[in-house]
Structure 1
Amino acid sequence: MSVYKEMLLLKRDFGGLVILFVMPLVLIVTITLIQDSTFKSVTESSIPILLVDNDKGAISKTVKENLEESGSFEIVTKIDGDVVNETVAKEAVFKGKYQLAIIIPENLSSDLQLKVNQNVLKIVNNLGMEETSIVVEDKKVGTKEVKLYFDPATQLTFKNAVKSAIDKMISQIETKSIYAAFQDQLGEGNEPIFEQESFIVFKEIMPKVNDKEILPNSVQHNVPAWALFAIFFIVVPLSINIVKEKGQGTQIRLITNPVPYAVIIAGKTATYLVICMIQFFLMVAVGVYLFPYLGLPVLDVQGKLLLMSIVALFSGLAAIGFGILLGTIAKTQEQSAPFGATSVVILAAVGGVWVPVFAMPKIMQHISQISPMNWGLNAFYDVLLRNGSLLEILPEINLLLLFFIGTITLAIGYDKKKRAV
């Protein structure tokens, strides 16, 4: 009967019930589309960048070719038919029309070649080898600057990635120039005497299932994250209903019945747990069936749905326990509703739903460990991304269960103390 009562309360607030189910679905679709589009814009689409070539030599040609071959950039050298200079490029970037401008200085290729030849010639002479017929100009070559102008709104990660890529590119060009200079000084004939291929290379090893690599995508991150957010948002209607019962005198009538208060709480827990699981399965259904039609990756839950459901179940218990504690302590709806919504947002932010925990400051990384959303999210990631078993997600499940038991115990204790007074 306690469950039936809770169902009646929810049925009478049909608008709130619709929001409870529809809002998370709209949220997960919107956020995933935005993040996936952002991801594609960086990795798949070409970003137009300005290139001012004051060198007109081999290095600027190589830089341009490498940038074009990367597929990440579209080289722009003219605006409205006019060749771009440094002043125009700087103004265009700082106004946000372009994200990046690369300024290659004058005589970069010739000066680099001269500097390399001078250094190589010194080494050859110090080794006591005879000087060759190659004449090297005795001219002091200063440091050359390849200037990078970034849009002020550009993210730091993008800046660092571009600077690292260009620095690597220039270093490779310098290395090849040094090898070529030694070739000219020491070698005879056209065949290279130095092997110029990279000796050290990097290879990313991805986890595999059935000899197939698992590639994480935006859907695998967003579905569990926003499913947790939806589950914990149950705190708001749950706490409001408890406050309503206290205000309307319903709780007093329930307490006077020969039924333990734990049974009343059990009725609320069972009812809202069903709602949490419906929310979770709706989120999963969106990831599996709707996302492919929107051009997003499909959520692969094959062989993982049972463990994901277990994580969602215990996450729901943690959210319900928090909602019951908040409803028990709050005296008015004006207290429970804003505090409930705000606390869920804070738990989501701290727990890694919005920003990955590893990207947070050290102190926030430690604080995130006490967020139940962080426990649930880690358990979901263990299942979806790390192919974890039930044994591996037990620590997070135990934490969620202890959180539920702790909040319910506090709620019952607070209610007894208040009624005793």
Structure 2
Amino acid sequence: MLLYKLWRSFVKEILLLKRDIGGIVIIFVMPLLLIITITLIQDSTFKNLEGSKIPIIFIDNDKSEVSKNIKQELESSKTFELLTNFTEQSAQNAVFGGDYQMAIVIPKNLTKDINSNIDSKVQTIVSSFGLETDSSAVKKTVSKAKDIHLYFDPATNIGFKNNVMNAVNKMVFEIENKKIYKAFQDQLGTTENLEENKNLISFKEITPKKGNMDVMPNSVQHNVPAWALFAIFFIVVPLSINLVKEKSQGTSVRARISPTPYFIHILGKTFTYLIICVIQFLLMVAVGIYLFPYMDLPQFDVTGKMLQLIVVTLFSGLAAIGFGVLLGTVADTQEQSAPFGATSVVVLAAVGGIWVPVFLMPEFMQTIAKFSPMNWGLNAYYDIILRNSGIGGIAKEITFLFLFYVAMVAISLFYERKQNAV
């Protein structure tokens, strides 16, 4: 008998949804447009960085060995297009005015002063070992350290700025090392070829493997689960509006006085919106698998992972439905539920790591993120897609998502019973 009542409640929800076809279309179309737009923007950004050069101003006041080496390194990086017809003042005005991302100004006599400093220090070190040196050279005055001026557009991304500064520091460091090594060669009279002096330590990234192939994460693997989760939680808006409508139209009163328990009414909504969540996710996956390759984007690979992903989707959907039920139960008008629902989903997405990675947040925000249902769902998706975890590896996250649903529905039932107690 309860199953029949649950079925009738489910049918009632379907009929209600059919009255708002436009809203249902938005629920499905909005996430698809979002995932396509975001992925295209991110992927095209990466391709632009790889396939085209960023124009920057390069002013060489040294016109000697060190500045030529720096210029050669910048040109060989295939990232920058060097513009040289500027003075330092005009470069500063152009960069601060937003015309260019950055400018690099090499000071006068940079090579000469570096050579002088290195020779003086090397000869001092060599003489400390009791070796013969030119005593007059040891007494050379050490020049003050030179500054390479870097100008950045105030609107430049901080990550880009840090990457450029690190790259310039690395270039200067390598140039100085080679010159120091050469100075010791000259003082000690060795004949070893400087070009054969390779780095003793280098970096090699070890990536996960699938068979004999390296598995390299891409923008699609990050965006599909993230925005699918965002879409799942966005059903909070229509679900809460649905509940508010029922209160204003008297449907909830008829549901309470009927012989059907009120929790059956909530379960009917749960099953209905769970189906919507699964359809949303399957549409996202279909776009990633079939449409993205035609848009010159990486294909979304779900080989052997679909069952686990559906499980995460179901539990994430439960968490979203629980939150929507609570919001719709507490809110009195659509003007309360709709904007609060949309805003709260955006806040949950921001806190949960959809917009900004959690590890980039302040420490207290990282702690808050651990209590976000979106963060639980996102970690579960990433564990499956990027870390190749099974159901056992995501047990904690799906448990938290289910408990969140139970807690939200329990609070809603308690609130509803208290509000309608005679």
* TM-score for both structures, normalised by structure 1: 0.95
1:90 corresponds to: 92
Which residues of 2 match residues 154-165 of structure 1 at below 5 A? 154-165=156-167
Q: Which residue of 1 is the match for residue 33 of structure 2?
A: 26
**Which runs of no fewer than 5 residues in structure 2 stay unpaired?**
1-7
- Select which of 55, 66, 81 maps to 1:48: 55
- Which residue of structure 2 lines up, in the alignment, with residue 415 of structure 1? 416
Equivalent residue, structure 2, for 1:309: 310
Name the structure 2 match of 1:339: 340
Tell me which residue corresponds to 1:252.
253
Preserved contact between residue 244 and residue 333 of structure 1 (Cα < 8 Å): yes
CA deviations over 1:307-329 (Å, ceiling 9, x no partner):
11110111001111111111111
Identity %: 59
Q: Taking structure 1 as reference, are residues 172 and 143 closer, same or farther at Cα in structure 2, changes over 3 Å only?
A: same
SS in 1 for 2:420: helix
| Residue number in structure 1 paired with 2:171 | 169
- Whether contact under 8 Å (1:276, 1:316) holds in the other structure is yes
Query: Residue type of the partner of 1:120?
Result: V
SS of 2:294's equivalent in the other structure is helix
Alignment of 1:358-397 (within 5 A): 358-397=359-398
* Structure 1 partner of 2:3: none
2:346 counterpart letter in structure 1? V
Task: Count the aligned residue pairs.
Answer: 415
C-alpha deviation, 1:40, in angstroms: 3.0
| TM-superposed deviation, 1:130 | 2.1
Q: Secondary structure at the match of 2:59?
A: strand
Q: Matches of residues 83-232 of structure 1 in structure 2 within 5 Å?
A: 83-131=85-133, 138-188=140-190, 190-192=191-193, 196-232=197-233
Aligned equivalent of 2:83, options 69, 76, 79? 76
String of CA shifts for 1:159-212, please: whole Å, max 9, x gaps: 111111111111111111111111111115x43489632112122211222132
- Structure 1 portions without partners, runs of 5+: 78-82
Provide the C-alpha distance between the structure 2 equivalents of 1:107 and 1:165, rounded to a whole number of angstroms: 22
Mapped to 1, the partners of 2:172 and 2:283 lie a distance apart of 51
Deviations 1:242-291 (A, max 9, x none): 11111111112222221111111111111111111101111111111111
Corresponding residue SS for 1:420: coil
- Report the secondary structure of 1:396's partner residue: helix
2-side partners of 1:137 and 1:115: how far apart?
Answer: 11
CA contact (8 A) 1:179 1:196 kept: no
2: CA distance, partners of 1:109 / 1:136: 19
How well do the aligned residues superpose, as a CA RMSD in angstroms? 1.8
Deviation at 1:34, TM superposition (A): 1.6
Q: Determine the C-alpha separation between the residues in 2 that align with 1:413 and 1:301.
A: 41
| Distance in 2 between residues matched to 1:370 and 1:135, nearest whole Å | 66
- Which residue among 3, 9, 28 is the counterpart of 1:2? 9
Structure 1 segment 228-307 matched on structure 2, within 5 A: 228-307=229-308
Q: Return the offset for 1:235.
A: 0.8
Change in 2 beyond 3 A, CA 1:132/1:278: same
| Structure 1 residue 134, shift from structure 2 partner | 10
Match of 2:5 in 1: none
Task: Report the TM-score, using the length of structure 2 for normalisation.
Answer: 0.94
Q: The residue matched to 1:48 in structure 2 has which SS?
A: strand
Change beyond 3 A, Cα 1:84–1:193? closer
Q: Larger deviation: 393-402 or 151-160?
A: 151-160
Equivalent residue number for residue 353 of structure 2 = 352
Change in 2 beyond 3 A, CA 1:173/1:100: same
Write the letter of the residue equivalent to 2:151: Y
2:129 alignment partner AA: L
| Aligned partner of residue 55 in structure 2, secondary structure | strand
State the AA in 1 paired with 2:348. L
- Higher mean C-alpha deviation, range 41-50 or range 86-95: 41-50
Distance 2:326 2:349 in 1: 18
Distance 2:320 2:348 in 1: 11
Q: What residue identity is the alignment partner of 1:376?
A: G
Q: Look up the SS of the partner of 2:222 in the other structure.
A: helix
**Which deviates the most, 160-169 or 248-257?**
248-257
- Cα distance in 2 for partners of 1:76, 1:36 equals 27
Structure 1 residues 259 and 373: CA distance shift in structure 2, 3 A? same
